[in-house]
Amino acid sequence: MKVNIFKKVAKGLQVEANANRPKLMPSYRSGKPQFKDWNTERAINEGFKVSTYVYSCVYRIMKAVASVPLKVYEDGDYNPEHPLQVLLDDPHPFYSMQDIMERMAAHLYLGGNSIIQIVRLESKGGLPVELFPLNPDKVNPVPDQAKFISHYEYNIGDRIERLEAKDIIHDMFTDPANPYWGMSPLQAAAMIVDTDVEAVKWNKVTMQNRAVTDGVFAFKHDLTGAQYKEAKEHVREQYSAKGRGPWVLGNEVEYIPMSLSPTEMDFIESRKMTREDICSIFQVPPPMVGIYDKATLSNIETARKIFWLDGIIPYLKDVLDTLNKGLAREFGDNVEIKADTSMVKALQENLNEKVEAAYKFKQMGWSLEEINERLDLGFSKSKG
């Protein structure tokens, strides 16, 4: 009887909370799926598969993120036997957690969104037993006035399947104009990537034409029909010749190039500019994707540290917040997923600095637990 009373009170509080929530923005209709003008397939076909710099940046991020083990902590202590840790160690019939983390990174950086479906078993109390990464292009969130998101619609061929919001882990890169769907870094870089791809295509065409530029022949005097035909045949013969030696057309004709000069069309410098922009958007220092023209041993080490501190670590915190909110809470409020970065060489110097700071704090009378919390050293609470 008491349980029913508590349920009624909780339901009443929820209704009151829903009533106090702000109304949906006018452009987002409750109960209507949200469609988008950017998709992962387009990003892959027009960016990832055709731009060496986009591929290098995203590939580097994917591999770095997936190299970091995920560990489950219960009441502050690492628990390798916890059911959630067992799930993370074997999350899918065919994919490892490393594979899933790679897909999450690729979907986020190319499409702006990552969607993972939670598979549950009633025989295990409805707890998650498998994680399935879904193609974000086939998923649409459905806004709801009371719950923010009512559910998701999953397009499977000729039918649409309803996915409950509680069974979806949705991570996104924030789009300030859309609270329901994220924005990809590649979307902001689309024009830059197109410029780089066109530069590569131009160079390819130029090489195929043996660097012969387009142009016109201007004769100083009018030609008769026969002279015009003869000149045309002469040009065609020399232009199509395998040797392509000097052209001899007489002293009353001028060749006028119709394209820009090599100086004006310096695509090498142009590509250097676009690659810097692409690397900047993805937060990947150029040496990390094999660009060593200005690199030294010292700044390569610095680049690795910047890559992790400014790019990968913030990304991991983003993903962990999402996994803890959408997955770890299923196993209790005292359960948390953390990333173990202790084996990342680029962060060892940073760890050494933390150890020195910890030693000084210890001398000042701080407890190990306080130091661990302040410096985020990753020790279990039991070690205090």
Residue type, 366: W
How far apart, in whole angstroms, are the C-alpha atoms of residue 81 and residue 73? 10
Q: List the domain boundaries for the chain.
A: 1-209+273-341, 214-258, 342-384
Distance of CA 23 to the CA centre of its chain: 31
CB atoms within 10 A of CB 289: 23
Model confidence band, residue 134 (pLDDT cutoffs 50, 70, 90) = very high
pLDDT bin (cut points 50, 70, 90) of residue 13 is very low
Q: CA-to-CA distance for 18 and 60, rounded, in angstroms? A: 43
Pairing of strands 253-257, 335-339: unpaired
- pLDDT for position 378: 64
- pLDDT, tens digit (0-9, with 9 covering 90-100), for 367-376: 877 777 777 6
Tokens 């110097």 — which residue?
349
Q: How confident is the model at residue 7 (pLDDT cuts 50, 70, 90)?
A: very low
Q: Is 51 exposed, middle or buried (0-12, 13-18, 19+ CB in 10 A)?
A: buried
Residue 219 DSSP one-character state = E
Average pLDDT of span 313-332: 96
> Which is higher by pLDDT, 153 or 40?
153
Residues 6+ apart with CB under 8 A from 262: none
Phi first, then psi: give them for residue 121, nearest 5 degrees: -125, 125
Q: State the pLDDT at residue 267.
A: 63
Instruction: Give the Cα separation of 66 and 104 in Å (integer).
Output: 10
Q: Which residue has the higher pLDDT, 366 or 109?
A: 109
Find all residues with CB under 8 Å of 349, minimum gap 6, and list them.
305
Q: What are the residues whose beta carbons fall under 8 Å from the beta carbon of 18, sequence distance 6 or more?
A: 145, 146, 147
- Order of strands, sheet of 168-172, starting from the edge strand that comes earlier in the sequence: 127-134, 113-121, 168-172
Q: Are 143 and 29 contacting, i.e. CB atoms less than 8 angstroms apart?
A: yes
CB neighbours of 229 closer than 8 A, spacing ≥ 6?
Answer: none
**Backbone dihedral angles phi then psi of residue 302, each to the nearest 5 degrees:** -65, -40
pLDDT band at residue 164 under the 50/70/90 scheme: very high
- pLDDT averaged over the chain? 80
Contact 214, 265 (CB under 8 A): no
